[in-house]
Amino acid sequence: MSKKLLAVVDEAKAGMQGYSRWSHSEKLKAMINPEMRRINEKHGLEYVEWNCCRWLFFSNNWDALPFDASDRRFNVIANPTVRQSSGYYERLYRQIANPEFIAAVRSRLEHLDISAFKPGAIPEMNEAKRKALGAMQSDLDGLIGAFRDEWPGPVAERSDLMNYLHDNNIKIPGDKTVNKLIERAGMTLSGKVGSGLNKYRFVIVRDYSLQQIEADPQGAYAKAVDARGKFKFGG
């Protein structure tokens, strides 16, 4: 990766399903995000260089890369799905060996107007990206999203969500993974609040804040109990 400006990945595929794919997500971030890259060449001295590499991924799969709705790294583009004639591809591959064609492509890129390009812009949430996000959603993601949409109050205890998942007979991963999925669904998880036997851990579903919970844990608990009485458990 040293001194590379563009990395091209063909036939990209995350290779893991459901919440397990997110172990790949952290590895991918570690490759793409750092401002500086540590280079440790075999039989050479270790050194640090600026990370100027950009990535271009090609795939036939909508779930090719692991990212969520908060992603600020990837633009997703859907290429044409209508296959061209065999003659089209034959002409194209013949041109690869044509130095004049290669020179024309280089000239085109050298003179391309990119004055409107904004390197710090957040990637657009277009239809292609929404479709990719939908393809990556696991059954567990769907249930957590359903809880968010159906819960009748602004706040719930974390145990309310866990009971809902258990009632739907789904395999549940460890707490760290569940907490990540809660955050990815757009909800906020509090730490333990309260004192003595009255300690709670809340999930903010909507229209509430951690500051409100910390200022009045019993008030948040009352809202969770009220919503629990209105909510239909049992899958």
CB 139 within 8 A of CB 18: yes
Half-sphere exposure (Cβ direction) of 97: Cα atoms closer than 13 Å: 4
> According to the model, what pLDDT value does residue 19 have?
54
> According to the model, what pLDDT value does residue 18 have?
54
CA-to-CA distance for 43 and 92, rounded, in angstroms? 42
CA dihedral 11, 14, 16, 18 (to 10 degrees): -120
CA distances from 149 to 46, 142, 144, 163, 186 (A): 51, 10, 9, 16, 11
pTM tops 0.75: no
> According to the model, what pLDDT value does residue 120 have?
83
CATH 1.10.10 residue ranges of the chain are 138-230
Task: Tell me, letter by letter, the H, E, C secondary structure of the chain.
Answer: CCCCCEEEECCCCCCCCHHHHHHHHHHHHHHHCCCEEEEECCCCCEEEEECCCEEEECCCCCCCCCCCCCCCCCCCCCCCCCCCCHHHHHHHHHHHCCHHHHHHHHHHHHCCCCCCCCCCCCCCCCHHHHHHHHHHCCHHHHHHHHHHHHCCCCEEEHHHHHHHHHHCCCCCCCHHHHHHHHHHCCCEEEEEEEECCEEEEEEECCCCCHHHHHHCHHHHHHHHHHHHHHCCCCC
User: Is residue 58 classed exposed, middle or buried when 0-12, 13-18 and 19+ CB atoms within 10 A define those classes?
Assistant: exposed
> According to the model, what pLDDT value does residue 42 have?
80
CATH label, 138-230, candidates 3.90.105, 3.40.1710, 1.10.10, 2.40.160: 1.10.10
**Identity at 136, one-letter amino acid code:** M
From first to last of the 235 residues of the chain, give the pLDDT tens digit: 788 999 999 988 765 555 556 667 778 888 888 899 888 888 778 899 999 999 999 999 888 888 877 788 899 999 988 899 999 999 999 999 999 999 999 999 999 999 998 888 889 889 999 999 888 888 898 899 999 999 999 999 999 999 999 999 988 989 998 998 899 888 999 999 987 778 899 999 999 999 999 999 999 999 999 999 999 886 5
